Amino acid sequence: MIRTVVLALFLAWHLHNPNRDAMWLWGLSIVCEVWFGFSWLLDVVPNLNPINRATNLAALHDKFDQPFESNLHGCFDLLVIDVFVSTSDLAKFEQQ
């Protein structure tokens, strides 16, 4: 709260004391201060009411480890897929 009040007071002071010699620079600094203040608020607001999530192991057990009509073994079998992701540039190595 204190930072928000200080930010608002600084912006109000800055608006009431323009630099007449460089109005374009003063206007640009106002736009930047508003933008950075807004982005700071967007960063701070989620921290005021954090969400704590926990895994419900009993619900997972009931859903995936119990036998049901399409899975009579009671074991949830996921498809196994191997994916190869190349992170190198082969053209770079072919030139050497």
Secondary structure (H, E, C), 34-50: HHHHHHHHHHHHHHHCC
End-to-end CA distance of the chain: 59
Does residue 95 lie within any of the structural domains? no
Whole domain around residue 1: which residue ranges? 1-76
Contact assessment for residue 65 and residue 76, using Cβ atoms and an 8 Å cutoff? yes
CA distance linking residue 70 with residue 64, whole number of Å = 12
pLDDT digits (tens, 9 = 90+) for 9-63: 888 888 888 888 888 888 898 898 889 889 988 998 888 888 888 888 888 777 7
Question: Does position 94 have pLDDT exceeding 70, yes or no?
Answer: no
Does residue 30 lie within any of the structural domains? yes
Question: Does position 73 have pLDDT exceeding 70, yes or no?
Answer: no
pLDDT at 3: 82
pLDDT at 79: 62
Domain count, the chain: 1
Distances (CA, A) of 50 to 4, 25, 42: 19, 39, 14
